[in-house]
Chain A
């Protein structure tokens, strides 16, 4: 503790250098915090997917439809506990740029298959009793300013109604919340019957089927039974765990994880060079002072600890400020009117960041600290 004052005074002796080094570290950890939040948000679709949930899609690809008759046949398979079907609607609100994840679903069973979408019993009943009712996630409701009880027009960029229009009217009956902070609340769900009866593309088809099994250990057996059931039919199925489905979906965009990790590491590499160089320079300038301290009786290991503490303190200070900035940035992004998953700078990001800060402090401080440790007093004083 006695040395902390010396560490602090050494750190702050050149204000401009301290500012620039802190700023570089700050930027690196702002990038780290923000991009990690993005990565976690995209990964959350995979991470939060239920282990006992399976997705049944057309084997050709998931944009091809399945006959609605499959629903009852799959429901009869052993160990299928609950089942619903979903159709991508291609909905947008007011402007084609306001695209949203909107699905026509089997409302009666939908919330049993996706229990992480939280509505009250009253809202659930209200939805079941209103064929034009829709439930909207809180983030999309916030984005468009919807409130429970609103009647809203929604257009589809895929389907048209039998009267030729592309606009459907809906009653917002519930704003659902997510069970977890990162549960997706940017989607909208409405009755399949309303969709099926009003759209003009023919009927009785579903986009894909979501189901829950009695136990994740039964997944493989259920998958085999379903896919075997429809083998050699005009619409063969491919049944996959939800995690795998979401992962494959994300991979269509590209290897986001690799891209984000590369950006973060590039930022850290630059910071490593900047901070490392700054620390080396700073200690080199203090050679004579280190010699004096050793002469007075400060041991080499104590000076080693002080130099290392200095670089750790620098990394922690810049890093914590950077992470706080990324938290602020994430709040702003979450509140912005754009379609993105909920970003969170949570405890895990903080833990990872703290490990990076300690690593950065150690890597940038170890060489100057070892140099200070090895510094011979006579050599040091002669450089003064």
Chain B
């Protein structure tokens, strides 16, 4: 992990209006994520884990405060600018894989590259490399329904990696998998962080999963309590 700050949240507040009630999830949250970090965020339901993940991923915006990414402020970008920013910088891994059911594995992996100027042959090269990285080269032509949950999640990881993003955002990536498969996926994420320098932020309920991260932040009522698991 380097000292270079990739994400910097300054005084971030987030409020939701539900009927006549205003719910405050965060009130002046400060947080930094260094480049090369593997951070697990845990917390009870309603603690704000997913809201934080959405704001870091640029799919939700804070009510006030600033979010800086790699030296640029992202909380004031327009919807289309955020879409481009996400395509260039973020890889998403979801709990339920969220593969396109009508596309085979390689076409699913290709999706983020449709947002680039890469030609078909270059895209194919990158797809092959990404599938190789998740050990699924032999499943390139398989449809999602023809694969196990673990294999589908590996395809999702290949999709998240293929455009070489700076940050991987993982939302309960092992929440739908059995323990053994979950461990395989988490080991893979650990390898991506350790050997390929990918910065990873993972939201999880599972303490066993959090152990694969370099550090864990516990979120409760919109505030962090940090525990260094590596220590």
Contacts and interface: CB of A to CB of B under 8 A. Distances in A.
Interface of A: 2-3, 5-6, 9-10, 12-13, 288-289, 292-301, 377-378, 381, 384
B215 interface: no
Given A292-B98, A300-B79, A2 B92 contact: no
Dominant secondary structure at the B interface? helix
Nearest to A382: B50
Dominant secondary structure at the A interface? helix
Interface stretch (B40-48, B67-75, B109-117): B109-117
B167 to A, nearest CB: 13
Contacts of A9: 100, 102-103, 107
A2 B111 CA distance: 10
A297 B86 contact: yes
B83 A289 contact: no
Interface in B88-107: 88, 92, 94, 96, 98, 100-103, 107
B123 to A, nearest CB: 9
B57 interface: yes
A296 B100 CA distance: 12
A13 B114 contact: no
Nearest to A2: B114
Most buried by B among A2, A10, A288: A2
A377 B59 contact: yes
A11 to B, nearest CB: 9
A19 B115 CA distance: 31
Nearest to B103: A9
A300 B88 CA distance: 17
Contacts of B114: 2-3, 6, 298
A73 B103 CA distance: 82
22 contacts: A2-B114, A3-B114, A9-B100, A9-B103, A9-B107, A13-B101, A293-B111, A295-B57, A295-B86, A296-B86, A296-B87, A296-B115, A296-B159, A297-B83, A297-B88, A297-B112, A299-B84, A301-B80, A377-B59, A381-B98, A384-B96, A384-B98
B115 A297 contact: yes
Nearest to A288: B98
A292 B98 CA distance: 7
A378 B60 contact: yes
Interface residues on B, range: 20 to 34
A381 to B, nearest CB: 8
B190 interface: no
A381 B51 CA distance: 13
Given A13-B101, A384-B96, A296 B112 contact: yes
A292 B94 contact: yes
A42 to B, nearest CB: 47
Nearest to A289: B100
Nearest to A13: B102
A2 B107 CA distance: 12
A293 B159 CA distance: 12
Contacts of A5: 107
B54 interface: yes
A381 B115 CA distance: 20
Given A296-B115, A296-B159, A378-B59, 13 more contacts: A3-B114, A6-B114, A12-B102, A288-B98, A289-B100, A292-B94, A295-B57, A296-B111, A297-B84, A297-B112, A297-B115, A300-B79, A381-B94
Interface in B11-61: 54, 57, 59-60
Given A377-B59, A378-B54, A378-B60, A294 B83 contact: yes
Contact of A299 (B57, B60, B80, B92): B80
A292 B79 CA distance: 15
A10 B114 CA distance: 16
Most buried by A among B59, B88, B112: B59
Contacts of B59: 294-295, 377-378
Contacts of A295: 57, 59, 86, 92
A60 B23 CA distance: 88
A378 B59 CA distance: 7
A13 B107 CA distance: 14
Most buried by B among A13, A294, A296: A296
A125 B103 CA distance: 73
Contacts of B98: 288-289, 292, 381, 384
Contacts of A294: 59, 83
Contacts of A296: 86-87, 92, 111-112, 115, 159
Contacts of A2: 114
A360 to B, nearest CB: 24
A377 to B, nearest CB: 4
Most buried by B among A5, A12, A288, A292: A292
Contacts of A3: 114
A328 to B, nearest CB: 33
Nearest to B120: A2
